[in-house]
Structure 1
Amino acid sequence: MYMRNSAAAIIMYDVISRQSFEDVDKWAEAFALVLEDLCNDLSSSASAEEIYSVHSVTRTDVVRLPSSSSSVSSKDSKAKTRCCAFL
């Protein structure tokens, strides 16, 4: 994962992989550290308002049975992405 001097992040997870969904928080925290460094850099003209994070769900075309514990429900997806855009 490359985020150095990034002013935007697209955090993607696989809708049929609960592990990738659970890793979203870890990736968002890592990006928050990059954001903090960027905003603290005196030579940077970026502000917190100019930095974006977007969550994107992949493999939504794959159909899973509702009883599958490894898939991610739309309720879980929406709850996790309250603070940012959701694609």
Structure 2
Amino acid sequence: MADLVFLTEISFCKFFKRNFNKSFTNYLNEFRIRKSCQLLRQTNKKLLDIAEECGYENMSFFHRQFKKYIKKTPSEYRISFL
């Protein structure tokens, strides 16, 4: 991302944190989790497919991040919308 806006990584991180009050990594994880929530509600795709579509290559990490932000597992979240 830093290259896209012609900043060094350090400058980009400082700029992002100053303007959004969160690190780029936190923002990106929140964005991915929001997208996965949408897919869990609106599709019948497998969890693995949703995780990969949202940028998670590791199911364990996807589950940890999902539970961190949503306080439920992806399966529990999906069931709550049935």
Structure having the higher helix fraction is 2
Larger relative contact order (CA 8 Å, sep ≥ 6) = 1
Structure having the higher strand fraction is 1
Tell me which interval the TM-score lies in, with the shorter structure as reference length: 0.3 to 0.5
Q: TM-score, normalised by structure 2?
A: 0.37
Q: TM-score, normalised by structure 1?
A: 0.35
